[in-house]
Structure 1
Amino acid sequence: MKRFWLAALILGFAVNLPAKASVPPPPPPPPTNLPASYDGYSTEQLWYAYMTYVRGETAARRTAAFEALRLPGYSDDPAAWRTELDGPSYVSVSWWIPYGILFAFEEICPVSAGYRDPEGCLWRYRSASFSASAEDIHAIVFETFDGAAFAANLHARGITPDAISRNFVSDFGLANIVHERLDGMIVTRDVREDACPGVRDGVEVIAEIALPLSPYGPPAGTPPPPPPDPPSGNTQTLTVPAGYFPDLDVTVTLESNGAGSMRTLLDALTGPANACLADLRD
């Protein structure tokens, strides 16, 4: 099976510098019908401590869902599949919660095929993202905030009102509820090329891209890069293993938050898989 590589030749586009990220909106304030405090604990401080926790858990739960799909590199179960080769992987993290996605392309092999030049290996795509808006995340706080219970929780833990600052973050004992709500909004994908040939096609397209390793910039005549996306809070990282150095473990990491070249790469890599996944969902 063809292994993933990037030739050290001329790339037809340049990677843009990251665009300036826009400032994320502040979290919504507490409802006006709440009392100013609970047992001496400021309602506003309780609210933001819990809101910050819930918002932060969007990234943590999405990552947990993504990692739960990871296959081991070794298994003694002959009916299992294992990861033989890591392909391109991508992380998009956004301050505009809960937007962003994690995905990876991996070559996986049946354990029954052995561990030296196994046959029957397939490319696999796995991903995790939210099917939700920021309002859906904030609704968790609006629906589960309990100032009196939160104050009692802090009192039982020996945390006094004057110890609470705007930087204080707490789940107030509701981690399981928050996780259940967030996990219900996460969409995962786990598909192999035997069900979706586009998974392999995108990897093959990327494998043929030529990459310059010159520190002097693009050569004369190189077409200009595509226009960037509008400024946003997205931070994008695409990691591509480069297998053409037999004695080096080499990866190429591209970082952006709106570069047009990143969009071009992602379209080439995920376009065939997305088209196939759309057909599978229909």
Structure 2
Amino acid sequence: MTRLQIILTAFTASLFCNFADASVPPPPPPPPEGLPAAYDGYSTESLWYAYLFWVRGETVTRREAAFEALRLPGYSDDPVAWRTDLDGPSYTSISWWIPHGTLFAFEEVCPVGDGYANQESCLWRYRSAAFDARERDIHAIAYDTFDGAAFAAHLAEQGVPPEAVTRAYRSDFGQAARVHERLDAMIVSRDIRADSCPGVQDGIEALAQISLPLSPYGPPDGTPPPPPPAPPSGDTQTLTIPAGYFPDMDVTITIESNGAGSMRSLLDALIGPVQACIDSQAD
């Protein structure tokens, strides 16, 4: 099978300037006040940043773990289970701003009990994972759980000398379980099928109506100007769309953006109906 990947980068020079200026994250917060300069030779500042940056990095891994936990297998022998029959559009938003970022995917799923040849009961499903938190909420975890004396003892027991704890050093200092519990509590995961939220199907149908000329020469004459870009942010967005138009090829369209208006329009068409359904059920 041939794999065709079309990369569309919606990124203008003017937007890049604004984005570069606005996307520089603020400096990390300093260690808690009132602590000694070092613990048994280990710099307090070095211990703090080794731990803080590990906690911040875990926002990415825990969001991914929550998202993957919702993945359904393609096969199951459980008659009451659902299985994934077809992968649809998926989206990844990665940000320099902690803990911002989103993962979502559309998949056609089928009840195992109806048999693998029966497609009549299959439905589109939407799953996602994102933090309902701000940067200060993540930093609060580090402040609440930082213990310089215990961290220094932890490193000494492992044979890590003080000079090895540089700005690039990362460690959970034995706090992984506590930190993961608090991070996971701030993640909002969604698992929605079209039988409870018709907007899941509506989003797929809206995306299917979009015509995309596969030309390397740019948009054809008469193409309207793109929508205005989103406010500058630190997001790198990737929308991946498996295209079933070619029955004899495996075709994937990958659209990459940093806040382009065209990406926002695609996302509005795809997840706008889903979000409207979520909002209506929350009322």
Q: TM-score range by the shorter chain?
A: over 0.9
SS of the residue 2:33 aligns to: coil
Matches within 5 A, 1:167-246: 167-246=168-247
The aligned runs of 1:1-282 (5 Å cut-off) are 16-17=10-11, 19-20=15-16, 21=19, 22-282=23-283
What letter corresponds to residue 275 of structure 2 in structure 1? N
Contact 1:75 1:82 in 2 (8 A): yes
If the length of structure 1 is used for normalisation, what is the TM-score? Answer: 0.93
Point out where structure 1 has 5 or more consecutive residues left out of the alignment.
1-13
Confirm or deny: 8 A CA contact 1:234 1:257 kept in the other structure. yes
| Structure 1 residue matching 2:127: 3-state secondary structure | strand
Shift of 1:117: 4.2
How many residue pairs match? The answer is 269
What are the ranges of 5 or more consecutive residues in structure 2 without an aligned counterpart?
A: 1-7
| Distance in 2 of aligned mates of 1:123 and 1:88 | 11
- Which stretch shifts more, 245-254 or 114-123? 114-123
Partner of 1:9: none
Q: Distance in 1 between matches of 2:269 and 2:99?
A: 25
CA deviations over 1:101-145 (Å, ceiling 9, x no partner): 111111100111222242211111111011111000000010000
SS of the counterpart of 2:88? strand
The Cα of 1:15 is off from its aligned counterpart by 5.9
Query: Matched residues, percent identical?
Result: 70
Residue identity in the other structure for 2:267: L
| Whole-Å separation in 2 of the counterparts to 1:140 and 1:134 | 10
Runs of 4+ in 1 over 6 A off after TM superposition: none
Distance 1:46 1:213 in 2: 52
Of Structure 1 and Structure 2, which has the larger fraction of its residues in helix? Answer: 2
- Partners of 2:88 and 2:248 in 1: CA distance: 18
Q: Distance in 2 between matches of 1:77 and 1:190?
A: 19
